[in-house]
Amino acid sequence: MIDVMLQDLLLDFTGDDEESLISEEVAERMLERALDVVSSDLLIAYQIVDEGDDPTLVPEMPGVHRELWLLWSKVLVCRFLRARSANLIAFSSGDKRVDRGKETSNWADLEESLLKDYKARIVRINPAADESVLQLGTAPLVYIQGAAVEAEENQTFEGTRENDL
């Protein structure tokens, strides 16, 4: 299964000349790095077990989770390609002009799009992974004349004076 994921990732980043934009080693590394993030977001401890020439994934990963794994791998590849293209410049010589300055922003746009898709899918599977909901660890106090009562635990604090309220 890992070989299939690797081939999918390489195929998704193929240029006009039918050559892959990333090496197989980079693709493998991005798959390995992405697995940790997806495992933590799904709250399932996936790991790659090397058994000779055929690495396997433990536990067995359903198709929906594999799609998330591939999506996050694509995000990491976009970050890699964006960093690699950051040093490219636009130049012109006489009547010829080469503009490779937009390549970085194109990779950033693709990364942002893939990241939004990933986050939307993760929230559907694991609502606790939603970072847009702020969860505060506070317990409000409810004040009653003569006593303060904590809302969650309903503990009464005796000895408060009326002037304190």
Which DSSP string do the residues of 112-128 spell out, in sequence order?
A: HHHHHHHHHHHHHH-GG
Question: Is the model more confident about 131 or about 20?
Answer: 20
Is 2:56 a contact under the CB 8 Å cutoff? Answer: yes
Band (pLDDT 50/70/90 cuts) for residue 149 is low
pTM for this prediction: 0.70
State the Cα–Cα distance between residues 22 and 4, nearest whole angstrom. Answer: 16
For the chain, give the longest Cα–Cα distance. Answer: 88
Band (pLDDT 50/70/90 cuts) for residue 154 is very low
pLDDT in tens, 84-140: 887 777 666 777 776 666 788 888 899 999 999 999 998 888 877 776 666 667 777
Place of tokens 């635990």: 153
Question: Could you tell me what percent of the chain has a pLDDT over 90?
Answer: 25
Which of 83, 125, 1, 26 shows the shortest CA–CA distance to 12? Answer: 26
Residue type, 125: I
Q: How far is CA 44 from each of CA 62, 73, 88, 97, 115, rounded to the nearest angstrom? A: 12, 17, 40, 51, 20
| pLDDT score recorded for residue 95 | 73
The residue extents of the domains of the chain are 2-129, 137-165
Has residue 80 got a pLDDT over 90? yes
Is 144:118 a contact under the CB 8 Å cutoff? Answer: no
Query: Rounded mean pLDDT of the chain?
Result: 80
Sequence-distant (≥ 6) Cβ neighbours of residue 45 within 8 angstroms: 39
